[in-house]
Chain A
Amino acid sequence: MSDVLLPLNDDARVSVRRSTQSPIFTLVGAVILVALLTATPWIFPAQFASTLLNFFILVIMATMWNLLAGYAGMVSIGQQAFIGLGAYATLYFALEGVNPFVTVPISAIVCAVFAIPVTYLLFRLRGGYFSIATWVVSDTVLLYVGTIAFLGGGTGRLMPGLENLSPSETAHDSYLAAWFVALIVVVGTYLLLRSRLGLVLASIRDNEVAARSAGANVRSARRLVFMIAAAGCGAAGAVLAISQPFVQPTSVFSLQWSAEMIFVSMIGGLGTIEGPILGCIIFFALQQSLQQEGAWYLIIFGTVAVLVALWEPRGIWGAIRDRFHTELLPVGHWVREKSQGTP
């Protein structure tokens, strides 16, 4: 649907298009969905909005992890470093008197900046060693934060600045914060993947050596993606901190965040935007129905994720897409041979 940088001329024998179907249906659907989700706290019960808030936090994390692993090939198991850092940055600024909701973008920027030196250290390692090193970083930040008395040390501290709001106002506002951050993250990822960087990432994913030799700067593309993922997870952590609103180191830096974002991305389908969101929907359905059963939802979900990785690595959405050639949010290009005469 959009122009692409290919030397196409009239007698070119291939046509390159973004998608196979008209985007108008996706667009209309998206507008309705956005309107509905924005109005949710006014038209649905509070319990539903609060579940949806946690759903959006997971959507943000899963989308960011998918960008890291599904598009840039970096398996991070330490993203909770940025979730915790985002939560604590928000707590810090709130303690300094800033409105907690205003600090969400600031915390995201803090996380992105913190990610820069981290990449210089961690990019020295590859593959699995990179993965464990991300966990070391998160463990280090957790232990360091636990020594700062001003932020509540190991026990944590209540987020200030929400006292003037009634409980229902706080619930509304934090729902909207989570929803808008999720919207920005998903739309931003969509636009990013359609940009030049998206093309570079796709070429790295398909063949890193070929991408390098074609002039793609693999390292700086990965660095940028790592920073974006840090910012996204930081924003998720900030929203999480506001919705809790008690910030506790072992809970915001928990490995469980990584486990959840990894499993939903794998099951939904890595390397697609829709997949992780679909994974989040399945995850929440399972979690809600097994609420009384302790950690079993995570055990079941982890087992399914392992099976999916082994037998259906495209994930659920990947399988659907390849079978029906349908995409809601197309970021790739379809190259088709032109038939004689008609384009």
Chain B
Amino acid sequence: MIWLNVVVQGVLIGGFYALFACGLSLMFGVLRVINLAHGDMAVVAGYVAVFLVPHFHLPEVWSFLVVVPIFAVLGYILQRTLIQKSIDRDPFTTLLVTFGLSVVIENLLLEIYSANGQSVNIGSLISQSWHPASIIYVSYVSLVVLGVAVLVLFLLQVFLSKTGTGRLIRAVADDREAAQLSGANYRHIFGIAAALAFATVALAGIAYGTMTQFAPTSGGVNLLFAFEAVVIGGIGSLWGTLVGGIALGIAQQFGAHFNPQYQILAGNLLFLLVLAVKPQGFFGRRTSLA
């Protein structure tokens, strides 16, 4: 029963990691850009939800209705300016630029909002949970986040495979030159992909704020978890990312069961182990290795 609880909690947190990771995966899959500021963008979304959304007389729970569209627009603009400019140089520059952004954002948040922890206020829901067996508690918040993660992955999948824009995105991801020759404006397509990625990262940031406290430095840790989920699941596979997130979550809960100090360490070790024995991840193709 103890082990069942470890698995249940791992699956719950794994859904959140997948939600966090799908934007990272999308940015790399389409733009070939690793956004090292990915985690910090989520934290910014959390701060917007906590400090700016209340001005609209909207409960913080519903803040995603405002923050997600704002971030989609922000993603499009950032892509068409800063990120596109660095893509035009080389992949090396995109890393330096997004790393610089990451450090600048983190320290700006630190200067403006101090290092104190913040959380998105969701009322009494935070403490409620479903209690199916003696020692198993399933928090409603985590369950909702897992549901949102699965829904977002499903919608992304449908969007990419069924709609015209989705097909264009995949075409540009597969072969940019060929898509351009067929008349696709790849910069605009890149912008749409970045808008989608930023929308999911905003959702992930708010979800994080509802589950636990966040601080300016939370971005880095979450980037690591998202990245580990992507690599464990297999680079380039959306559903693989969910499996990777869940595997990471279970490994962390397993470590935490022995000693809270081992929680993140166990996740990191699983990542290094996967890298050693199956570097293409559970569902990745060998060729898609970054």
Contacts and interface: CB of A to CB of B under 8 A. Distances in A.
Check if A and B associate: yes
Interface of A: 69, 73, 75, 77, 121-122, 124-133, 135-137, 139-140, 143-144, 146-147, 154, 255, 259, 262-263, 266, 294-296, 298-299, 302-303, 305-306, 309-310, 313
Most buried by B among A75, A121, A129, A132: A132
Interface string B82-115: 1001100101111111011101100110110000
B103 A259 contact: yes
Contact of A298 (B95, B107, B275): B107
Given A128-B36, A147-B261, A295-B107, A310 B97 contact: yes
Interface stretch (B9-17, B151-159, B205-213, B221-229): B221-229
A262 B93 CA distance: 12
Nearest to B91: A127
Contacts of A75: 92, 95-96, 99
A132 B261 contact: no
Contacts of B265: 140, 143-144, 147
Contacts of B100: 262-263, 266, 302-303, 305-306, 309
A262 B99 contact: yes
Contacts of B272: 121, 136-137, 140
A125 B227 contact: no
B197 to A, nearest CB: 14
Contacts of A130: 290
B33 A128 contact: yes
Contacts of A298: 103-104, 107
B104 A299 contact: yes
B1 to A, nearest CB: 28
A146 B111 CA distance: 28
B118 interface: no
A300 to B, nearest CB: 9
A127 B34 contact: yes
Contacts of B85: 310
A309 B34 contact: no
Interface bin, chain B? 35 or more
Given A77-B99, A139-B264, 10 more contacts: A124-B289, A128-B34, A128-B290, A140-B268, A266-B100, A299-B104, A302-B103, A306-B104, A309-B86, A310-B82
A131 B165 CA distance: 31
A299 B111 contact: yes
Contact of B104 (A69, A122, A132, A302): A302
B81 to A, nearest CB: 10
A87 to B, nearest CB: 19
B95 A125 contact: no
Contacts of B135: none
B125 interface: no
Summarize A's interface: helix, strand, loop or mixed: helix
Interface in B96-144: 96-97, 99-101, 103-104, 107-108, 110-111
Interface of B: 28, 33-34, 36, 82, 85-86, 89, 91-97, 99-101, 103-104, 107-108, 110-111, 220, 223-224, 227-228, 231, 235, 259, 261-262, 264-265, 268-269, 271-272, 275-276, 279, 289-290
B227 A310 contact: no
A101 B235 CA distance: 45
A300 B271 CA distance: 35
Contacts of B108: 299
Nearest to A258: B99
A296 B228 contact: no
Contacts of A255: 103, 220
20 contacts: A126-B289, A128-B34, A128-B91, A132-B223, A135-B220, A136-B224, A136-B272, A139-B268, A140-B269, A143-B268, A147-B265, A294-B110, A299-B108, A302-B100, A302-B101, A302-B103, A302-B104, A306-B82, A310-B82, A310-B93
B255 to A, nearest CB: 10
Contact of B264 (A124, A126, A143): A143
A129 B231 contact: yes
* 10 closest Cβ pairs, A-B complex: A128-B34, A306-B100, A129-B290, A302-B104, A295-B107, A140-B268, A124-B279, A143-B265, A259-B103, A132-B227
A145 B177 CA distance: 48
A253 B259 CA distance: 22
A127 B91 CA distance: 8
A298 B99 CA distance: 13
A306 B271 CA distance: 30
A144 B264 CA distance: 10
Contacts of A132: 34, 36, 223-224, 227
A114 to B, nearest CB: 14
B72 to A, nearest CB: 23
Contacts of A128: 28, 33-34, 36, 91, 94-95, 290
A263 B96 CA distance: 9
Contacts of B33: 128
B268 A133 contact: no
Nearest to B223: A132
Contacts of B290: 125-130
B268 A129 contact: no
Contact of B227 (A73, A136, A147): A136
